[in-house]
A and B are shown apart, each in its own frame.
Chain A
């Protein structure tokens, strides 16, 4: 039972394809080559910040050819490296997805389908020729050629190629377990599948596109940030260009190479270089958790979510009710009740029945016994609503209180006065009462409790801290729902939920300006999944549900919604933090370059110029100062790639405490760090005696 709780972490290890480390050597090599391929100006034009760096590099190159010196060539080389480092970061982020896409692609190409004609004959065709509506036959050992719904039969299917989960799953026609995915393997039995996807638009195709980032579009926040970065690039153009006339006015020549160095240092290259890598890595982090987001927009929306709708069963509770107490009535003995209940449950293979046997063993050391006497089991039926055992003349029964009451009355027994009271108390606590009778005597009540998952209340506390409201969705009556809701610590609940009430709740929340996330798997969840801002469909769910939602969870683990929200937030935080860092860096760069630029301005002969006082870092010479700033600016990109790919650490806390932390690290840190970094590089350059 604990498996499900751990699964979100466990699955991180067996992602869509074989998991690779962030810095897998193979990916590094590919990314190195990609860095040069991305020098194509058409690619560069998509990123205004880096495009300016590229143009600046070209101008510097011309200057360096015209006026060769160690300084001009050094600056040119380091500017070129700045562009390459940015390309490298993006290629790195794409690398892992590309490797996964390759694995998936192999799966797609080699499949052959057994097309079923209307007259029942079979024909072998390549999977790529299947059209919507075609029927194909799959038997044990066959790969399912494309996405579809099972029209006939039932089969166990190995979906590990898609989900990474090795345990086979049962798929059958009709109901909510009828969808099959192309590329998965039938392990037993024979099924007829009706194809539901056009060629090239299968789930596998979409998955390849997603992990590869081919269909990647900029997300709303990314667009807004790109605009801000473009504005910060545009403003520094005149700032730098006018330094020429400013310098001339003060009778000092300002070198073009230094101006370009200054420009590149001032425009937000750090975030500009890493922005797309951050976005790709964010999507990738979801893929590693076995969640496929159909768009980056959905990932970003996950960070904005303020209301989570969580299904009770499977998400909040373990899904099965468990016996938790024996409550004797009418003065009978608790042990006698436990004994009778265990006897009545020996043949009951339902989880509830097993749990009664286990509880009796734990409480009274009552062993499961071999029944020697003559006996017969009475199975549960919808008519009697009871099950039990006839043994040695005893008629032991357990079942709904109403049914047991009828059984006892019919057997000539009387109903103890405290039965109703106990039954009601158990129901009020959100549990299910199960009455136990031995012939005409009611022995007592077994309390079957809906067990709330371990640790779930803490998760809800964390969500509350980051401002997210949790709403439990359940088909239970309001009384039961309230009891479980208070035990699990959710903020609100929707009892006796129907698809309509669920939909109404989503719309009401959205009208209040909130963003809503939910999970679902059934066809009747589809409208709500489509309406929700983040709709996570379970991979076990129907095709309708998967198409309505904007994410698919391959593990079909509803608890993962919480992880998705965190990934969304982490994505935005990483962008914000690196933007802050990038801008804060500019201060130190000014203090390095401005004194160097105007070193000679208004200087007396053989004296340092008056602006030398601004050289607070005591950099060695004007050329070493400029070069140090340019080198720092390039190296910081490489240094921050791991952070961009992993994301800034997210700890659930209130917005203001997250902000305070990030402002200190990336704002104040970004202000101070380059002073140290530039000084160190300057010291190293001084050792070379070249500058």
Chain B
């Protein structure tokens, strides 16, 4: 580990601390309706949507609005992708996207997954990229954030049946948070050399090899900032963050990591502030940080070490660590940081190839997703999912102090336990069942590039990533098949909306409850003890559900010491 890497880490921590405190309190102001500087945009939008910004919704109506909005989003995106061939802004004259791929892609972008079974530069027109996909890059993180906010309101409010107004929360998330911040950083990316043009590809004649090289370009920089800020991760180019047009310099690489971590981290401050005790947010952030740090250490150490396959060939000494599939601009450690940050925030963007990581390094990447992508997780989704685990932790821990468990003064009873367990377990069940099907049938198993445990990892990773709405790709899997397009779409829909409905139902149930005042007999949730329990629950649930799968994937591969199949 170099001094440069440690300095990068230190700078990252300082920047994130600032984002936690100041972005966090800005988010509070936005969702409490105190930020008004764009009201001249806001008000006409509400008129257009036909919503009364002062009227709040019950959890059922809130959920219904969200489902209708997302359903329409999927439909519109699907139609635009299918019809891109006859629509404008298509200088490469690309054909319409095939039905299977259009289904997978539209679901992918609406669920904030950004799983890409295609190479952007050779599949999507400018219109598809800029309108169909980028619009979702703004609204899908907004949906994640507003669900988190609705849940926080459930905790903070007492004895009411309203959890907010979906349309107001949606509009405010986009215009006050995502648009302004990503606009500023898009300019920084352009200044650093990211491409932003409608000019179409350039053709360069390579006199040495007597070939004409086609270099695709497009409106890239405007997508970059929101790709990271909204934990979307869908790259303009297939190479994603490893492409110099997307991620031209060390600074943009740093900012990419910072942007994808900033909102999930800041939301823990927002949470603490809105429930009236910032320490509650600190506890959640501490649990996230411990797990993030642990898996970062595993991955960095594994990638700093040697590649077992190369070592098996006799090259034990590998300076710079496992450099296969890494950008020489970034190196092994920094790539590992990007990889861990991106997989643990459900962003899924990448500046290196995970297929080439050591088995243990790859395990480090899968671990974040096996834990449900909560460390710190996607924009909004990380917070609301970790709060489900917190409810389970509170329930078990609370019983152990001899009282009906309560979290933030809300009694955790049958309904809350039911919804939280469902929310925590729906992802593992979906991913395991789909992986079981995929490895059992030829349509699933044959799509993997490798045989043996590495091939298993490729299949498992794809379904784990989609089930967590992560979108990170291990590579090595030919995903654009009828099987993976359809199954992946189902995986993403369940991973997103089954959990969201459970969370909103929970928000509704919590908002209706009164608040039990804390006393010495209360199990306090702003203490290191609770952080430990929360970490324990997350690790145990992740390990108990995924240990067998990981055993026949990266773990067994690690102990094969570079044998291939």
- The answer to whether A and B interact is yes
Question: What is the chain B residue whose CB lies nearest that of A301?
Answer: B404
Q: Report how far A236 CA is from B429 CA in the complex, Å.
A: 9
B519 interface residue per 8 A CB criterion: yes
Known: A576-B399, A655-B403. A220 touches B413 (CB 8 A): yes
Inter-chain contact B522/A467, CB cutoff 8 Å: yes
Residues on A with beta carbons closer than 8 Å to the beta carbon of B529? 656, 659-660, 663
**A611 CA / B558 CA spacing, docked (Å):** 10
* A227→B544 contact, CB < 8 A: no
Instruction: Decide: A573 and B404 in contact? CB cutoff 8 A.
Output: no
Asked if A248 CB lies within 8 Å of chain B CBs, one says yes
Contact B527 A245 (CB under 8 A): no
Q: B418, B428, B556: which contacts A601 (Cβ < 8 A)?
A: B556
Complex interface: chain B residues within 8 A of A364 (CB):
none
Residue of chain A at shortest CB distance from B513: A513
Cβ of A667 < 8 Å from any Cβ of B?
yes
Q: Looking at the complex, which of B60-68, B165-173, B435-443 is the stretch in contact with chain A?
A: B435-443
| Distance between Cα atoms of A306 and B519 in the complex (Å) | 8
B21 to A: closest C-beta gap in Å: 27
Tell me if B524 is interfacial: C-beta within 8 Å of chain A: yes
User: A-B pairs with the 6 shortest C-beta distances?
Assistant: A467-B521, A576-B399, A569-B402, A242-B436, A467-B519, A231-B421
Whether B552 sits at the interface, judged by CB under 8 Å, is yes
CA distance A467 to B563 in the complex (A): 61
Contact yes or no, B402 A572, CB < 8 A:
yes
Q: Which residues of A contact B (CB under 8 A)?
A: 220-221, 223-225, 227-228, 231-232, 234-236, 238-239, 241-250, 266, 300, 303-304, 306, 464-469, 512-514, 568-573, 575-577, 579-580, 583-584, 586-587, 590, 594, 597-598, 601-602, 610-611, 613-614, 650, 654-656, 658-660, 662-663, 666-667
* Bound CA span A247–B439, Å: 10
Q: Does B310 contact A (CB under 8 A)?
A: no
Q: How large is the interface on B (under 10, 10 to 19, 20 to 34, 35 or more residues)?
A: 35 or more
B547 at the A/B interface (Cβ < 8 Å)?
A: yes
Chain A residue with the shortest CB-CB distance to B433? A238
Cα(A656)–Cα(B439), bound, Å: 47
Cβ of B517 to closest chain A Cβ, rounded Å? 6
- Contacts A513-B515, A611-B559 given; indicate if A245 touches B402 (C-beta within 8 A): no
**Looking at chain A's contact residues, is the secondary structure mostly helix, strand, loop, or mixed?**
helix
Scan residues 399-450 of chain B and give those whose CB is less than 8 A from a CB of chain A.
399-404, 409, 412-414, 416-418, 421-422, 425, 428-429, 432-433, 435-437, 439-440, 445
* Residue B474, interface by CB 8 Å: no
| A576 vs B436: C-alpha distance when bound (angstroms) | 34
B408 CB to closest chain A CB (Å) equals: 12
- Which residue from B417, B516, B549 sits with its C-beta under 8 Å from A228? B417
Q: Report A-chain residues with C-beta under 8 Å of the C-beta of B545.
A: 235, 239
22 inter-chain pairs at a CB distance below 8 angstroms, sorted by A residue, are A224-B413, A224-B414, A231-B425, A242-B432, A242-B435, A246-B435, A246-B456, A466-B402, A466-B521, A469-B519, A513-B517, A570-B402, A573-B399, A576-B397, A601-B556, A613-B559, A655-B523, A656-B524, A658-B401, A660-B529, A663-B397, A666-B400
Q: Which residues of B contact A (CB under 8 A)?
A: 392, 395-404, 409, 412-414, 416-418, 421-422, 425, 428-429, 432-433, 435-437, 439-440, 445, 452-453, 456, 514-517, 519-524, 527, 529, 532-533, 536, 540, 543-545, 547-549, 551-552, 555-556, 559-560, 563, 565
Q: Which residues of B contact A245 (CB under 8 A)?
A: 436-437, 439-440
Q: B425 near A246 (CB under 8 angstroms)? A: no
Query: Shortest distance in angstroms between A616's beta carbon and chain B's nearest beta carbon?
Result: 13
Most B CB atoms within 10 A — which of A235, A469, A655, A660? A655
B425 & A249 in contact (Cβ 8 Å cutoff): no
The answer to whether B560 and A602 touch across the interface, beta carbons within 8 angstroms, is yes
Task: Report the minimum CB–CB distance from A184 to chain B (whole Å).
Answer: 35
Q: How far is the CB of B217 from chain A (nearest CB, A)?
A: 42
CB within 8 A of B417: which of A227, A580, A654?
A: A227
The one of A512, A614, A655, A662 that contacts B517, using a Cβ cutoff of 8 Å: A512
Closest B-chain residue to A237, C-beta based? B429
Contact A577 to B432, CB < 8 A, known contacts A513-B514, A590-B547: no
Residues of B within 8 A of A590 (CB): 543-544, 547-548
| B521 x A572 contact (CB < 8 A) | no
Most chain B CB atoms below 10 A, which of A243, A568, A597: A243
Contact of A576 among B398, B527, B549, B555 (CB under 8 A): B398
Q: Tell me if B414 and A220 are in contact (CB < 8 A).
A: yes
Closest to A262 in B: B548
What are the residues of chain A within 8 A of B409 when measuring CB–CB?
513
List of B residues within 8 angstroms of A243 by Cβ: 548
Q: A306 vs B406: C-alpha distance in the bound complex, in angstroms? A: 13
Minimal beta-carbon separation of B82 from chain A (angstroms): 34
Task: Give the residues in chain B near A220, CB-CB below 8 Å.
Answer: 404, 413-414
Nearest Cβ in chain B — how far from A561, in angstroms?
Answer: 15
Q: In the complex, which of the residues B421, B515, B565 has the most CB atoms of chain A within 10 Å of its own CB atom?
A: B421
Are A304 and B418 in touch, CB under 8 angstroms?
no
Chain B hits for A514, CB < 8 A: 516-517
Most chain A CB neighbours (cut-off 10 Å) among B400, B439, B556: B400
**Complex CA distance for A469 and B516, rounded to whole angstroms:** 14
